[in-house]
A and B are shown apart, each in its own frame.
Chain A
Amino acid sequence: MPMQIGEKEFKQRVTKGLDDNFMRGAVRSAQGRLQNNRASAADELGDWEDWRTLGKEIRQHTIEHLDYYLHQLSEKVAELGGNVFFAETAEEANEYVKNVVKSKNAKKIAKSKSMVTEEISMNEALEELGCDVVETDLGEYILQMDDHDPPSHIVAPALHKNKEQIRDVFRDKLGYEKTEKPEELALFAREKLREEFLSAEVGITGCNFAVAESGSFALVTNEGNARMVTTLPETQITVMGMERIVPGWEELDIVVSLLTRAAVGQKLTSYITALTGPKQSEEGDGPEEFHLVIVDNGRSKILGTEFQEALHCIRCAACINVCPVYRHVGGHAYGSIYPGPIGAVLSPLLSDYDEYKDLPYASSLCGACTEVCPVKIPLHEQLIAHRRNIIEEDKKGSLAEKVAMKGFGQMAGSANLYQMATKMAPILSTPFSSKNQIRKGLGPLKHWTESRDFPKPANESFRSWFKQRNKRGVQHDVRKH
C-alpha cells in the first residue's frame, strides 16, 4: 500500500468520513478509552513532565548525530553476521528485499506490523514476485482480508471497523461461522495464522527502536506475532525508517516506557522483543540469516529544516487519539497512511505540498496534540509553519492546484468551503460539550474551561439562520442553539 490512500480530493474524503456513522462511533469510543488509559498511566508513573523532557532530549541528541549512530548500528549488525542495506528510496528498499526473497526461493512471507513497509508498498513489490505475503498483526490481517482496506490509525489499524463488519469479512473471505464476539474472532485468526507462521520461509518485521551500541532491534507488541515472525522462519528481514534509533539500552528504557504509556496506557506491552543479529550457531530456533534495511525515502529532506523535530516521533499515536478533527473525519480522510496531527505534519514532508496541501488545514490548532506528545514535538506550531510555507508557494504559483482549505480569511471568500467549515464547527465541539457550554476543552482551551465554561458554537450558521429567518419573515427571531 503506498503512503497515499483513498480518493484524490480532500473534500470528498472528509465528506465520506463525516457520513460514516459506524466509523465515527468506533473512533469516538476508541479515542475515549485511549485518552483515559494514557492519562492514568502518565499520572501513575509520576514526574510525567520530567519523562517527556528526557524523551525529548534523547530524541534530539540522536537525530542531531544520526549519521554517527547509524554508522555504529551498521557496524555492530555486520559484526554479528547480519547484512545491512541503506536504501535512499522506496524502490531501492523493495529491490533489495525482493532479491533476498528470490535468493531464498521463498514463496510464503509472514509480516509483523510495520508502517514503513506500508509507506514503501513492499507487499505489492513482493506479490509481483508471486509470493504470498501474510500480515499477521490482527488489525492488519483484518484489513488485508478486506481487500486491502487501508489502515486508519498507526497503532490500531482497523480502528474504523466494528466487530460485525469484521465478522462479515471473515465469513465472506475465510468461511468463518461463529459470532461477532471479539474473543471468537481472535481465536479464529490465531488458528488460521498458526499455519502461516509455521510454513513461512521469510519473516519481515518493522522496528520500533534500533539500539546503536549493540546492533539490536526492539519490537514493541502485544499479540506475539512479531515473536513468531522472528522465531520460526529461516530468514529475517527488518525494515526501519532511518530515524528509529536510540544510542543505547539506557535510552531504550526511556523511549519504550514513554511509548507504551502514551500509545495504550500500559506500563509495558506483553512483549518487548530485543533481537541482536541472527541466532547463534548453537541455538535451536531463530533465523539463520538476518537482513536490515534502513530506509530514507524522503526523511533526510526534513533534516536541518524547521521540521526536524517531526523525526523525533516515536509513533505512539497519542496526538491522533486526542485530535478533535480525527475524531470526526477518521483516519482515511487524511489520504495518508500517517493520519492525525503527526500525519498532517509528516505526510507533506515525506511527499510534497502538491499531494498533501490540505492536511495542515485539517486542524483546529487547539494544541491538544502538542500537549500529549511524549517527546514534546510542537505539532500545532509545525502545522502553522506548513500553512505559512503553503501560502508562500501559492503566491509564487508553484503549487499545481489552488489550496482547498486555508485560513479563515480565504475560506470565507469561498461560499462552499465556508459552508462546510461552519457545518463542522458545532460537530467538532459536540463531544466535549454539555448543553450549550463547552465544559472539557482541549489544549489551550482546557485552561480556560477549567475555571469557566466556553460558549458552544451555534448549531446553525449565521447564513442558514438568516435564510430561514427571511423565509419565515420573522423580525425578531431568537437564534437557536
Chain B
Amino acid sequence: MTLGNIENRERFLSNIRDKIGGLSADKPVQKPNWSTQPQYRVLKDQNQDQLIKVLKDQCKHIHTDFYHTDEQHLDETLNEIFEEYGVRSIVYTCDSRFQDHKVDTSLKQSGLDTWEWDDNEKEASIQFSEKADVGITFSDITLAESGTVVLFNGQGKGRSVSLLPQNYIAIIPKSTIVKRMTQATEKIHKQVENGEDISSCINFITGPSNSADIEMNLIVGVHGPIRAAYVVVDDI
C-alpha cells in the first residue's frame, strides 16, 4: 500500500512539546496503571442466558423488536418479520454465515426480491440497498448492556447494507453476546497489539436511527433505518 503524506508535523508537535515538556515524540510512553476500572464490574458474573435477558430488556429502550429462535426456526422467524415490516426486497451481506446456516437458500426461495452485496458491483449494490425494504447482516459481537450489534465491515460486507434500507435485521448468534463495549474494544485492542489489520469500518449499531434535534422529542428513523429487529439464534 502507498504510504500517505504527513505535512507540517515537526513544527506542530515541537510547539506542543515546548508547552508540556514532553520527551521526543518517538520515545514510547507507558500508560499508567489507572486507579480504578469500573468497566469490569458491569454485569459481572452474568452467564450467557442472563445476558440474553439483559439484551431483550434493553431492546425496549432502543425501539428494537427482539426475537429469540433456534437455527431450525430461523427462516420462519425471518418470514414473520418480513410480513410484519411489509418487506418485498432484501439486501444481505456476502458472508459465509448466510450459507452455513442456510439463510441464503431460504431467502432465495422466499419469492422476494433479494440481492447479495457484491463489491465488484458497487453502484448496483448501493442502488439496490437504497431502495431495499430491509438489510440483513450477522452480528460479529453483540453487547448485552447497550443492545448493540458490532459489525466488522470489509470484503463482501458492505457498509450500506445496514444503513440505506428502510429496515434493518441483525442475526445474532448466541455465542457473539458479551457483556458490554469493554469486551469488544478489548478484542480489537488485542488485534492491534498483534499487528493484525482491523476492519476499515467497525459499526456499533444500537437500534434504528433517531434524532432529538426537534424540541428534544425523540424521532425514530432519520437517515438510517426506521425500524430494526434483532434475532438471537441459539446453537450458532
Q: A66-B22, A163-B214 are in contact. Are A224 and B163 (CB under 8 A)?
A: yes
CA distance A278 to B160 in the complex (A): 15
Contacts A57-B32, A136-B223, A166-B214; A84 near B4 (Cβ below 8 A): yes
CA A273 to CA B206, docked complex, whole Å: 11
B109 within 8 A of A: no
A129 contacts partner chain B, Cβ-Cβ < 8 Å: no
User: Are A271 and B203 within 8 A (Cβ)?
Assistant: yes
A125-172 residues with Cβ-Cβ distance < 8 A to B are 136-139, 142, 156-159, 162-163, 166
With contacts A222-B222, A280-B155, A282-B119 taken as known, whether A158 is within 8 angstroms of B213 at the C-beta atoms is yes
A267 within 8 A of B: yes
Contact yes or no, A296 B12, CB < 8 A: yes
Contact between A182 and B217, CB atoms less than 8 A apart? yes
- Chain A residues, Cβ within 8 Å of B186: 249-250, 253
A224-B224, A284-B117, A294-B12 given as contacts; is B34 within 8 A of A57 (CB)? yes
Contact status of A67 and B20, CB under 8 A, knowing A228-B223, A268-B181, A273-B203:
yes
Say yes or no: A223-B8 contact (C-beta < 8 A), given A50-B38, A270-B210, A280-B154.
no
A219-257: CB near B (< 8 Å → 1, else 0) gives 000111101101110000000001000011110111011
CB–CB A68/B27 < 8 A:
yes
A77 to B213, CA, bound (A): 33
Which of chain A's residues have a CB closer than 8 A to the CB of B154? Answer: 280, 282-283
Q: How far apart are the CA atoms of A271 and B211 in the complex, in Å?
A: 12
Contacts of A296 on B, CB cut-off 8 Å? 12, 15
Does the CB pair B214–A81 fall under 8 Å?
no
Find out whether the CB atom of B126 lies under 8 angstroms from the CB atom of A253: no
Say which residue of B1, B19, B25, B29 sits within 8 Å of A300 (CB atoms).
B19
Assembly CA distance A97 to B193 (angstroms): 32
Question: Please, which residues of chain B bring their CB within 8 A of the CB of A286?
Answer: 153, 159, 200-201
Q: How many A-B residue pairs have CB under 8 A?
A: 315
Known contacts A250-B186, A283-B119; decide if A223 and B210 are in contact (CB<8 Å): yes
Q: How far is the CA of A33 from the CA of B216 in the complex (A)?
A: 8
Assess whether A90 is interfacial by the CB under 8 Å rule: no
Digitize A54-81: 1 where CB-to-B-CB distance is under 8 Å, 0 elsewhere. Answer: 1001100101111111110011011111
* Smallest CB gap from B7: residue in A: A85
Residues in chain B near residue A300, CB distance under 8 A: 15-16, 19
A34 and B214 contacting across the interface, CB-CB below 8 Å: no
Q: Do the beta carbons of A214 and B192 come within 8 Å of each other? A: yes
Q: In the complex the two chains form, is B204's CB within 8 Å of A278's CB?
A: no
* Chain B window 180-198, contacts with chain A (Cβ cutoff 8 Å), 1 for yes, 0 for no: 0110111011001100011
List the B side residues contacting A138 at CB < 8 Å.
Answer: 211, 213-214, 222
- Residue interface mask B6-23, A partner, CB < 8 A = 1: 111101111111011111
Contact B205 A270 (CB under 8 A): yes
CB distance from B153 to the nearest CB of A (A): 8
Picked from A29, A51, A224, A248, the residue with its CB within 8 Å of the CB of B189 is: A248
Q: Number of A interface residues, CB 8 Å?
A: 112
Interface residue? B106 (CB, 8 A) = no
Cβ of B37 within 8 Å of any chain A Cβ, yes or no, is yes
**Which residues of A lie under 8 Å from residue B160 when comparing CB positions?**
231-232, 284-285
- Smallest beta-carbon distance A227→chain B, Å: 5
Does B39 sit at the interface, judged by CB under 8 A?
A: yes
Measured between beta carbons, the chain A residues less than 8 angstroms from B11 are: 86, 88
Given contacts A193-B223, A283-B119, contact A26 B215 (CB under 8 A): yes
CA of A183 to CA of B146, assembled, Å: 25
Which of chain A's residues have a CB closer than 8 A to the CB of B204?
A: 268, 271-274
Q: A87-B8, A138-B222 are in contact. Are A45 and B205 (CB under 8 A)?
A: no
Chain A residues, CB < 8 A from B32: 57, 61
A225/B223 in contact, CB under 8 A: yes
In the complex, what residue of chain A is closest to B94 when comparing beta carbons? Answer: A284
Q: A282–B120 Cα gap in the complex (Å)?
A: 8
- Chain A nearest Cβ from B3, distance in angstroms: 5
A156 touches B216 (CB 8 A): yes
Contact assessment for A198 and B130 in the assembled complex, using a CB-CB cutoff below 8 Å: yes
Q: Are A81 and B1 in contact (CB under 8 A)?
A: yes
CA distance A269 to B11 in the complex (A): 37
Q: How far is the CA of A106 from the CA of B35 in the complex (A)?
A: 49
Residues of the A chain whose Cβ atoms lie less than 8 Å from the Cβ of B197? 280
Query: Does A189 lie at the interface of the complex (its beta carbon under 8 Å from any beta carbon of B)?
Result: yes
Q: With contacts A68-B22, A186-B222, A275-B200 known, is A58 near B213, CB below 8 A?
A: no
In the complex, whether A118 has a CB less than 8 A from a CB of chain B is no
| B65 close to chain A: CB less than 8 A | no
Residues in B whose Cβ lies below 8 Å from that of A45: 42
Does the CB pair A232–B37 fall under 8 Å? no
Q: Are A257 and B181 in contact (CB under 8 A)?
A: yes
Whether A77 and B4, one on each chain, are in contact in the complex, defined by CB atoms closer than 8 angstroms, is: yes
Residue contact A271 to B224, C-beta cutoff 8 Å: yes
User: Which chain B residue has the least Cβ–Cβ distance from A198?
Assistant: B130
Q: What B residues does A401 contact at CB under 8 A?
A: none
Contact of A318 with B by CB under 8 A: no
Query: Which residues of chain A come closer than 8 Å to B28, judged between CB atoms?
Result: 68
Assess whether A156 is in contact with B213, with CB atoms less than 8 Å apart.
yes
Neighbouring B residues of A256 by C-beta, 8 Å: 181
Q: Could you tell me which residues of chain B, from 202 to 236, have a CB within 8 Å of some CB in chain A?
A: 202-217, 219, 221-225
- Cα-based distance from A26 to B48 in the complex (angstroms): 44
Closest to A227 in B: B163
B16 touches A80 (CB 8 A): no
Instruction: For the complex, give the distance between the alpha carbons of A189 and B130 in Å.
Output: 16
A-B contact list, 5 entries, CB within 8 Å:
A68-B28, A71-B9, A83-B7, A138-B222, A158-B213
Apart from A82-B4, A163-B215, A222-B210: 17 A-B pairs, beta carbons within 8 A: A29-B215, A45-B42, A54-B37, A75-B6, A78-B3, A88-B12, A139-B211, A142-B213, A182-B219, A194-B130, A224-B209, A227-B224, A253-B184, A267-B147, A272-B148, A274-B204, A304-B21
Which residues of A are in contact with B by a Cβ distance under 8 Å?
26, 29-30, 33-34, 45-47, 50-51, 53-54, 57-58, 61, 63-71, 74-75, 77-88, 92, 96, 136-139, 142, 156-159, 162-163, 166, 182-183, 185-187, 189-190, 193-194, 197-198, 213-214, 216, 222-225, 227-228, 230-232, 242, 247-250, 252-254, 256-257, 264, 266-280, 282-286, 290, 294, 296, 300, 303-304
The 3 tightest CB contacts between A and B, nearest first, are A224-B224, A139-B213, A284-B119
